[in-house]
Structure 1
Amino acid sequence: MKIVVLAGGVGGARFVRGVREAVRRAAPDAALANADIDVIVNTGDDWWLAGLRIAPDHDSLLYTLSGQNDEVRGWGRVGETERVSAELQAHGVTPDWFTLGDLDLGTHIARSAWLRAGLSPSEVSRRLQQRWPLGVTLHPATDDEVDTHVVTTAGERLHFQEWWTRHRATLPVARFEQQGVAEARPAPGVLAALEAADVVIIAPSNPVVSIGTILSVPGMREAVLTAGAGTAPVVGVSPIIAGAAVRGMADACLSAIGVATDAGAVARLYGARPAGGLLDAWLVGVEDESLVAGLRADGFAAAAVPLWMRDLDTSAALAAAALATGLEQARA
C-alpha cells in the first residue's frame, strides 16, 4: 500500500510522524502493514538568507521524523546553541528576528553547498534523508523556487518569513504571491508517488500558504485528483478546531483570502469532489461535530474525531482515523 501525504510546517510534521506510527502499529495482516509513505512537502516558505537556502517545512519534517526536533520549542534541533547566529547578527548579515541554531545551520550549509555544486533540491533532500532512518520518503513539492511573498494593504512587499516571523502575521494582507509558481513543475518523484497512491491525505497544515502552495504548482492538483489512476481517495484533516488554528497563524492567512477560521469553511475552500473540488472526505474535531451534517450535505464524507496531537499516541490515533476513512472511501 502507498500512502501519500501533502504537508507543511510543524503540524504537518507531527501528523506524518503519526502516520508512520499508525503503520508501525498495524497488525501484520492489516491493510496498512508495511505501507510506503511518501510526503510532498511545501517549499513556499523557503528562502535565501546569508547566502544559505533555508527550507523550514522540509527540515521540520526531517528533524521530527529523525528524533532530532526540539519538542519543547516545537521547531529546530534539540540541544541547540546559537553562537553562530549571534555572530551573524552582530555583523549585520542576518536580522535579529530570525535566529538559526548552530546545528540547524549545519543543515543549511550542507544544502547550499550541494545546490551550488549542481544538485537539485530533490537530490539534496535525498542526501539529507540518508543520515537518519525516517521511515518515509520526503519530496519537495517542486525543484523550482516558488518563495511566497506577502503584499500588504499598504502596498509593502515582504518575503513570507518576514511577515510571519518578524511581524507575527499582524500586517493586513492584500494578497499572497508564490513567485515563479506559474513556471514551476512537480519535483521528480512527486507525480510517480501520486500515480501509485492508494490514499492521499491532506495534513492539518496551513491551507493557504502550505497546502495551497503545493496545489498551486501546475499539474499538482490534477495529479492529486487522478491519484492511483483515479481510484485513490483524498482525505483532508482540519487544521482548525472550534474556530481557532491548531498551530501557527493560519487564521491570519485565511482572513487574508476572505475565508472564515472554521473547519467547515476550510473544507469548502478545498471543495468536495462531487462538486468539482478536491476532497472525498474531511475530518473535523469532536468540538466541531455540529458541522458534520452540513458537510455531508455538501458532498464530503465527513466525520468528527479527536484532532489534538498531544503526543505520539494521539497523533497515531488521528492518522489511523484518516487512513481508515480513506480505506472506507476506497471500498465505497
Structure 2
Amino acid sequence: MSVHPRVVVLAGGVGGAKFALGVRAALAARGAAPATVIVNTGDDLWLSGVRLQPDVDSILYALAGVNDAARGWGRAGDSERVNAELVAWGAGWPWFTLGDLDLGTHLARTGWLREGLSPSQVLARMSQRWPLGVRLLPMTDAEVDTHVLLGDGRRMHFQEWWTRHRATLEPAAFENPGIDTATPAPGVLEAIRAADVILLAPSNPVVSIGPILAVPGIREAVRAAPARVVGVSGIIGGRVVRGMADVCLAAIGVATSADAVAAHYGAGGAGGLLDAWLLAEEDAALAPAVDALGIRAVVAPLWMTDVVAGTALAEAALRA
C-alpha cells in the first residue's frame, strides 16, 4: 500500500467519532491527504421544529475537539436551559436532552435547510468553522430516518427506541423509509471509487454502517472499488463496546461475536465487502474462523481509550 493512501471511512456514532480521530492522526503522521468520512444519517430526526443529525454532530464535534467525551454526545460544558423550557411547555421529548450549544447547531442547520441548502451543503458549511482535518460527507441528502418495527407490531423512531426505552423493547426489524429511492450524497461515490483503502469503523453494523450501505449504489461501489476494504470489530470479547448493538444484531439474526459480524459483512471475494478484519486481542481465538470466511484476520488492540490508542488502531487498519 502507498505510504500516502487515499482513505475513505464509513462511520457513525461514538465509535465512528473516536476512529475518525485516530485515522486523522495516522494519516497526518504519514503526510497523507485527509480522509473522507462518509457519515450515517439514518438516525436523523425532526424535533421541536429543528433537524437533528446525531451521528454527524458526534463526529463533527469530536474532530473539532468540542465534544462531551464523558457522555459521548453533545458539546463539552453545555447547559440545558432551553431544553428545560421546552419541557415546561410540553414540547419535544422530555427524555431526549438537547444542550443549548447543541441547539445552536440544530438551529443553524435548520435555517440553512429552510433557505434551500442541501444537507451535504450544510455539512460543508459547518465544516468550515473548525479545522477538522477530514472531509465529512453525509451518506445521502435524502431523509431516510431509521424506524424500529417492534415484535408486537408497533413502530417508532429509532431515537425513541434507543434513548427512551434503552433498546429494551424487542425489535423485529429496522427500516429506513424512502431509502430505496435515495441517492448517495454528492462526492460519495467519487470518493469511494478513487480510494486506496476503505475502512469500516467499529460502529453499529446494523443502524450505523447498515444504512450507509443500504443507500442504492454505495454497497455496489465499495464492492467494485479497487481499494482494499478493512473493517474493525466493534465487538470485543463477545461484548459490545458501547450501546446496544447486541440487541440490533440479534434482530437480524447475527450473533454478538467478532467473527459473526465479519461474516455479516462478508468476504470481498465471495460477494461481500471485506478483505481484512481487525479482531481484538481478546478474540484472537476467532481468527481462524475469520480466515475461513476468506477474510484476512488481523489481531490488534482495539480499545480506543485515548487518541494515542485510537491512532495506533487506525495505523493497524491501514497496514492491514
- Residue 22 of structure 1 corresponds to 26
- Residue 142 of structure 1 corresponds to 140
- Residue 308 of structure 1 corresponds to 303
1:312 CA drift (Å)? 0.5
CA distance in 2, matches of 1:77, 1:142: 25
% same residue: 63
CA distance in 2, matches of 1:298, 1:182: 29
CA distance in 2, matches of 1:123, 1:217: 19
- Residue 93 of structure 1 corresponds to 91
Deviations 1:208-250 (A, max 9, x none): 01100000000010111122xxx20100000100111011111
Residue type matched to 1:4 in 2?
V
1:260 CA drift (Å)? 0.5
Residue type matched to 1:240 in 2?
I
CA distance in 2, matches of 1:38, 1:273: 21
Matches within 5 A, 1:91-130: 91-130=89-128
What is the TM-score with the length of structure 1 in the denominator? 0.94
Secondary structure of 2:202's counterpart equals coil
Residue type matched to 1:16 in 2?
A
- Equivalent residue in structure 2 for 1:245, among 235, 240, 246: 240
- Residue 17 of structure 2 corresponds to 13
- Residue 83 of structure 1 corresponds to 81
Secondary structure of 2:305's counterpart equals coil
1:193 CA drift (Å)? 0.7
- Residue 171 of structure 1 corresponds to 169
CA distance in 1, matches of 2:67, 2:198: 25
Aligned length: 316
1:302 CA drift (Å)? 0.8
Matched, 1:202 2:197: no
1:163 CA drift (Å)? 0.2
CA distance in 2, matches of 1:128, 1:248: 27
1:276 CA drift (Å)? 1.3
CA distance in 2, matches of 1:169, 1:297: 33
CA distance in 2, matches of 1:35, 1:238: 25
1:279 CA drift (Å)? 0.5
- Equivalent residue in structure 1 for 2:8, among 4, 10, 14: 4
- Residue 228 of structure 2 corresponds to 233
Matched, 1:281 2:276: yes
Secondary structure of 1:78's counterpart equals coil
Deviations 1:149-199 (A, max 9, x none): 001011111000000000000100111111110010000010111111010
- Residue 218 of structure 1 corresponds to 216
CA distance in 2, matches of 1:275, 1:18: 30
2:258–2:279 contact (8 Å) kept in structure 1: yes
Secondary structure of 1:99's counterpart equals coil
Matched, 1:297 2:292: yes
1:23 CA drift (Å)? 1.5
1:34 CA drift (Å)? 2.3
Which ranges in structure 2 are unaligned for 5 or more consecutive residues? none
